[in-house]
Chain A
Amino acid sequence: MNTFPGPENSWEGVDAYFTWANSSGMLVLFTLVTAAICLGVIIAAARHESETADNSK
């Protein structure tokens, strides 16, 4: 397992090698941000639809 900023000086013993691979808190944080973006965009789109529908009456 490796961590940010990536392999320190060698690939020896490396398995998971992406950024913050050994920091479960960061991985959970990015997961939550990803979920929040998906949900937030759907909500924003719904609001836009309602506004344009009201404006076009």
Chain B
Amino acid sequence: MTLEELNVFVTTQANVGMEAYYWWCTGLMIIIHVGFLMYEVGATRMQNAVSSGVKNLLAFAFMIPTFWLFGWWIYLAFPGGFVPIDLEGYGVPWNVSMGPMLSDQATGVFWAAFTLFACTTASIFSGAVIERIRISAFVFLAVVLGSVVWILAASWGWHPDGWLVTSWGFHDVAAAGCVHTVAGLFAFGVLLNLGPRIGKYNDDGSANELVGHSLVLSFVGLLTLIVGFFGFLGACLIWAGSDFGGWVNIYGAPATLSSFAFNTLMGLAGGMIGAFWWSKGNPFWMMSGGLAGIFICAGGLDIWYPGFAFILGVIAGCVIIPANNWLHNTFKIDDCVGAVSIHGVCGILGMLAVGLFASGFPAAGDIPPSNFMGQIVGIITMALTGFIPGYVISLVMKMAGWLRVPDHVQKAGIDKAELGLQAYNQ
């Protein structure tokens, strides 16, 4: 074998390996949706169990074509802000790059991975609004969040040329900001307009517990969801093929899957233990704490010391319950699964943790090192990018009468009234 033949062989194997890696990460991410489905259906009362599941599945189905239509282009075109850069046609659905090409082994699998990131972001919002949002309204809002809002935030802060990265040194390798904070705050904005389920609050302002029909389904779903997140987090690293000699983070700096393995597992365990202690053994909160433990570590998943990731996880596990109670008592929202607290609050804490404890880490090329001010600017940007569209668009929909299921349908049960089905034979 000549040196040239050897070079072709190595490059080919690296490209095929890269394709296969993201293919399987994408497949693993679909398990996130199995988990979300079980989690949300279990948290729903029996009369609305089918419609909750249908809503969840539709978010997945609609995200795929809409992310192909405009989501991928938004990510590539808007790293500078609100004005698109000239991509010479790349990324739009009628460009040949958005279809099978023998010279391009990357676009399809990266688009697929980002599409599943989008599905995940929309599903985070899904659980918060169960049992009283119109399915069509939810699908529309999910498309806005999954194929426009979060990916715009990703273009700014989760892209090597994003303005938050190049100007401020923003560091958030596993999307604590653009996925979790944006989705959590988008859900918060919608919840303010959507209102609570009938019977959630009494006239004196006190709250009632509307218990889901299967706690077991919910917490098994949460553990399933965590399995899927290994695909999500794995796809947050860039397999640079033979070009750079190994893994880099999404900003182009050297990184390893080992660092992700250490800190994902330690954050998960810390979150479960913290929430178990704080909730005095509630399995729903214990598993939610595990997720929150991963999300609070996500910003610096490539650089934390595992013992510190564990402590961050414990903090997340202890924070989510009081944060959820505070949000409910203060704003009278009805966040059925604690999404604002688990994703929104812990996403913000994850970005803040990088600023407080990981300032000064070098980045690739001309990107400034991670720093406290950069993280603060990132937190404000991500929070507003999630909240403002969620609040404004849902307010318009509310005024148009296209947001909330009418009270008499809620009382009758959405499954029976709209779908003519019931989840179980009684």
Q: List the interface of chain A (C-beta within 8 A of B).
A: 1, 11, 14-18, 21, 24, 27-28, 30-31, 34-35, 37-38, 42-43, 45-46, 48-49, 52-53, 56-57
Contacts and interface: CB of A to CB of B under 8 A. Distances in A.
Contacts of B134: 46, 49
A53 B409 contact: yes
A45 B139 contact: yes
Contacts of B95: 27
Nearest to A19: B99
Given A38-B143, A46-B137, 10 more contacts: A1-B96, A16-B96, A27-B93, A27-B94, A30-B94, A31-B69, A31-B94, A38-B65, A38-B69, A57-B408
Interface residues of B, number: 29
Interface stretch (B100-108, B272-280, B310-318): B100-108
Interface in B8-53: none
A interface secondary structure, majority: helix
Interface string B386-426: 00000000000000001001101100100001100000000
B100 A16 contact: yes
A38 B66 contact: yes
A50 to B, nearest CB: 9
Contacts of A52: 409, 417-418
Contact of B69 (A1, A14, A15, A34): A34
A11 B103 CA distance: 12
B136 A45 contact: yes
B99 A15 contact: no
Contacts of B100: 16-18
B140 interface: yes
Interface string B129-143: 000001111011001
B65 A14 contact: no
Given A18-B99, A38-B65, A56 B94 contact: no
Nearest to B103: A15
B96 A53 contact: no
B96 A48 contact: no
B110 interface: no
23 contacts: A15-B101, A16-B99, A16-B100, A17-B100, A18-B99, A18-B100, A21-B96, A24-B94, A27-B95, A34-B68, A34-B93, A35-B69, A42-B140, A43-B136, A45-B139, A48-B418, A49-B134, A49-B405, A49-B418, A52-B417, A53-B405, A53-B417, A56-B417
A30 to B, nearest CB: 8
